[in-house]
Amino acid sequence: MEPSQTIEDESQPSIATVTRRIQRLSLHLIPLPPLQRSPQLHMLTCAKANKQEVDVASLSSYMRGKHREIQEKIFDFFNSRPDLQTPTEISMKEHRELCLRQLLGLVREAKIKPFRYVVEDPAKYFAISEAVGSIDISLGIKFGVQYSLWGGSVLNLGTKKHLDKYFDGIDNLDYLGCFAMTELHHGSNVQGLQTVATFDPITDEFIIDTPNDGAIKWWIGNAAVHGKFATVFARLVLPTHDSKGVSDMGVHAFIVPIRDLKTHQSLPGIEINDCGHKIGLNGVDNGALRFRSVRIPRDNLLNRFGDVTRDGKYTSSLPTINKRFAATLGELVGGRVGLAHSSVGILKIAVTIAVRYSLLRQQFGPPKQPEVSILDYQSQQHKLMPMLASTYAFHFATQYLVEKYSDMKKTHDEQLVGDVHALSAGLKSYVTSFTAKSLSTCREACGGHGYAAVNRFGTLRNDHDIFQTFEGDNTVLLQQVAADLLKQYKDKFQGGALSVTWNYLRESMNTYLSQPNPVTARWESEDHLRDPKFQLDAFRYRTSRLLQSVAARLQKHTKTLGSFGAWNRCLNHLLTLAESHIESVILAKFIEAVQNCPDASSQAALKLLCDLYALDRIWKDIGTYRNAINKLTQYLSFQVRNIAGEVIDAFDLPPYILRAPIAMQSEAYSQYTQLVGF
């Protein structure tokens, strides 16, 4: 305190102090102006050694494909609208209302109308979804609830009368809706749902009831505040004239209005409660729904796979409850496809921020010499370079999944439906689990600066975390993959045809199991280890061995424990099998993408990334031959480090999307420091 300062002065903040506090608060409430890339970053001389040239524009064009233009349109719209950008500090209530305004702005102002693409052009729909999710993951989920879940259920499970009535309202957001499947006591086990829809032949209506607290629809997106309709999954019950009195026809989907279109008040018999503040995704208004004798017209049954006539008779082209249930869930698999695709988009953001920061940040170095980039340290390379390679691998794998899904929607081929179901389950599980772990690794790789909320890792990690649970718990989904592999294995020995994705198992059973381990039986030269045939052989050999061994174990334990007990006894083995198979598919698609790349420099960069992905997985999971692969993996990590800046730039994420000051240049740090009052 200055000698002239009085006690009264100390107790009263100065004008300068008040002004500084107001400025600091405004920086938290008003988003920073868009950050522009700066040419200030220069590679250290030692890092330029043996660096291959990468044509970033060509690589980016190959990566982003034909839907780049519509993604740029979305980025440009939100970049031009600071009022629609999500601030670092925002309450749950404000975030929900902002999320709705963002969605309305996207559709009504930017004129992005995605609904028709859900069926007509799924690849374009998922490209839009990825861009929207990069703005704010809450917005991406609200977008998905409206169009993929609520809208998708009407498109895929309804018939012409439903499209005629609801399509325009869903498309233009007049009919905001929910997807009410999950119940308090039932999530993954959809066939165990307890909500009941009983047909009343006198009034020609269904009566929707929640029979107990465990049947309350829970975690329903859009339900707490904004939703006006819900697709409710319930057991369809018909009155009969036998001793039972009723007949349960299994789980069906019904359109149920939940709020008045004019007053927005809850309709009679509809009880809506708010699920409250969550770990993440607080821009999405998740709610709980209870139904007390809610009557809806018979036409509100989404009747593509099953219908009820005016006199109460059930009709369906599918003969059993299980077949109808499988057909229903098969049409809803787009949600899993979208989550896998979106998870890769989130991983791209996190990896870009972490690698960009690691290229810029300098710490320590040789005595009396300048500090070096932290990405020159082997430990940092080991954290981030295999992750960067995996991001590219997942990109091409999910592109393949989207293509398969698009073909399925066009052809409705039964074999393709089964193939997409298993592939989407595996990729959704594998990719979202990997991304969840990687988000924490990226935060750690950025040290203390990574802990600042403005640098996005916290919100990315918290918002993405639930991706491992919704649209199917990851552990449950991997079991579905394992079950499908075992079915294919059984069919193989009974002369059945293998589905498209599992074709390599035909070779596996005949070739891989009759030859030595490709990792231990061959030489250690770099050319051999970087040979894509060797890499794929190693992946597939492992899957084949796991499949053969778990089949034998299941057969053995079933005799004493029964089928359920045997499955549970072998559960970890089954999960490892499923992950191994999905890694084989990912690598196969990555190798294919490398071979199909038309630009030589881009192809060389992709080959380097592909080699790193393959050998890193072999080193971590097979163990044998460890020294040679470990040495080469470290070498490849260093090589990828040399092109890391160009490779992340090929993701072509605009500064607004990254908006993490630590990933930018020096002038961004001045904005970053302003946030904490300097």
Domain range summary for the chain, segments of one domain joined by +? 56-169, 333-661
Beta-sheet strands, E only, within 533-656: none
Q: How far apart, in whole angstroms, are the C-alpha atoms of residue 163 and residue 251?
A: 21
User: Is 182 annotated as belonging to a binding site?
Assistant: yes
- The active-site residue, picked from 183, 471, 583, 646, is 471
Q: How confident is the model over 430-451, as a mean pLDDT?
A: 95
Query: 307 or 26: whose pLDDT is higher?
Result: 307
**Position 612 pLDDT exceeds 60:** yes
Integer distance in angstroms from the first to the last C-alpha of the chain?
A: 20
Cα 549 to Cα 218, 487, 490, 513, 539, distances in angstroms: 40, 15, 13, 11, 16
Instruction: Tell me if 270 sits within 8 A of 213, measured CB to CB.
Output: no
Most confident among 148-157, 488-497, 531-540 (mean pLDDT):
148-157
DSSP 266: B
- Determine the pLDDT at residue 42: 41
Q: Which two tokens stand for residue 476?
A: 């449950």
Digit-coded pLDDT (tens) for 491-535? 665 554 444 444 555 555 455 444 555 555 555 677 888 899 989
- Residue 105, judged by CB atoms within 10 A of its CB (0-12, 13-18, 19+), counts as middle
Tokens 């006006």 correspond to what residue?
A: 228
230 backbone dihedrals φ, ψ, rounded to 5°: -145, 140
Q: How far apart, in whole angstroms, are the C-alpha atoms of residue 638 and residue 643?
A: 9
Q: Which residues of 547-580 are buried (b: 16+ CB within 10 A; e: fewer)?
A: bbebbeebeebbeeeeeeebbebbeeebbbbbbb
- Determine the pLDDT at residue 664: 63
- Determine the pLDDT at residue 79: 93
User: Is 221 annotated as belonging to a binding site?
Assistant: yes
Instruction: Compute how many other C-beta atoms are within 10 angstroms of the C-beta atom of residue 447.
Output: 14
Query: 393 or 243: whose pLDDT is higher?
Result: 393
Q: Measuring CA to CA, which residue among 142, 188, 4 is closest to residue 463?
A: 142
pTM: 0.83
- Determine the pLDDT at residue 409: 87
Angle at 325 between CA 163 and CA 182, to 5 degrees: 80
**Position 197 pLDDT exceeds 60:** yes
Q: 333-661: which CATH number, 3.40.190.10, 1.20.140.10, 1.20.1440.120, 1.10.940.10?
A: 1.20.140.10
**271 classed as catalytic:** no
Q: Using CA atoms in the order 564, 566, 571, 573, what is the torsion angle rounded to 10 degrees?
A: -150
pLDDT class for 166, splitting at 50, 70, 90? very high
Side chain identity at residue 78, one-letter code: F
Question: Among 163-167, 458-462, 502-506, 567-571, whose mean pLDDT is lowest?
Answer: 502-506
pLDDT class for 310, splitting at 50, 70, 90? very high
Given the DSSP bridges, would you call strands 287-291 and 270-274 parallel, antiparallel or unpaired? antiparallel
Question: Among 61-75, 113-127, 318-332, whose mean pLDDT is lowest?
Answer: 318-332
- Determine the pLDDT at residue 667: 56
Q: How far apart, in whole angstroms, are the C-alpha atoms of residue 306 and residue 159?
A: 11
Instruction: Compute how many other C-beta atoms are within 10 angstroms of the C-beta atom of residue 44.
Output: 15
Instruction: Compute how many other C-beta atoms are within 10 angstroms of the C-beta atom of residue 430.
Output: 25
Q: How confident is the model over 469-484, as a mean pLDDT?
A: 91
Mean pLDDT over the full length of the chain: 85
